[in-house]
Amino acid sequence: MVEGFRFLPEYFPPPAQKALVAEVLGLLDENPLYRATMPRTGKPMSVRMTNLGPLGWISDISGYRYGPAHPETGKPWAPIPQTLLDLWRAVSDYPAPPQACLVNWYEDTSRLGLHIDADESAKDAPVVSVSLGSRALFRRGGLERSSPTSSMRLASGDVVVLGGQSRRAYHGVDRIYPGSSTLVPGGGRINLTLRRVTRP
């Protein structure tokens, strides 16, 4: 097991989950979900995504990067909701606010392959993740792709703080449990990940 992984089950009670989903949904008109493509191959990702905050994580045929504007609308990303800024302050133990909130939208058949998050310069900042809607089977490994992995379920309202060594660990989402929540319209899962990108 990798040091620095904190699991905070049901951090957000159902009313707060509902409010957060409503707030994120309300930002999608201005800030639409889109299907990013994989570097090099241009293959579409199975998760649709968008971002909130001054910087957003972007993937396209030329690679991964952070940028200030939505790749399809050209407009700046909408601001990060206050609830999420409060969460970061409460759990991150980091002296500066997050700059990016990646919104990952999973349908029943969406997956996220095993990967590490390595596009941020603030290597000492944790990643804070909020799960909303249907349950997911999450896989976490070690510092190398070949390291042993273990699985855990993430449910609506759960928060995970990836600090220390766990910040550099491989992880992915193997499956969504269809129909396991009615919180998200259409029955999907939303994952919000808060990140500090640049050094403060």
What's the min distance (Å) between Cβ of 66 and Fe ion?
14
Residues that bind ligand MD3 (CB under 6 A): 102, 104, 112, 117, 127, 129, 136, 140, 160, 162, 166-167, 169, 171, 173, 191, 193
As measured in angstroms, the least distance from the Cβ of 10 to Fe ion is 22
Residue 80 near which of Fe ion, ligand MD3, none (CB within 5-8 Å, type-dependent): none
Stretch 109-128 residues interacting with Fe ion (CB under 5 A): 117
Task: Give the count of residues interacting with Fe ion (CB under 5 A).
Answer: 1
Residue 134: name its binding partner from ligand MD3, Fe ion, none (Cβ under 5 to 8 Å by kind): none
Q: Which residue is nearest to ligand MD3 (CB)?
A: 191
CB of 117 to Fe ion, least distance (A): 4
SS3 string of the chain? CCCCEEEECCCCCHHHHHHHHHHHHHHCCCCCCECCECCCCCCECCCEEEEECCCEEEEECCEEEEECECCCCCCECECCCHHHHHHHHHHCCCCCCCCEEEEEEECCCCCEEEECCCCCCCCCCCEEEEEEECCEEEEECCCCCCCCCEEEEECCCCEEEECHHHHHCCEEEEEECCCCCCCCCCCCEEEEEEECCCCC
Binding interface with Fe ion (CB under 5 A):
117
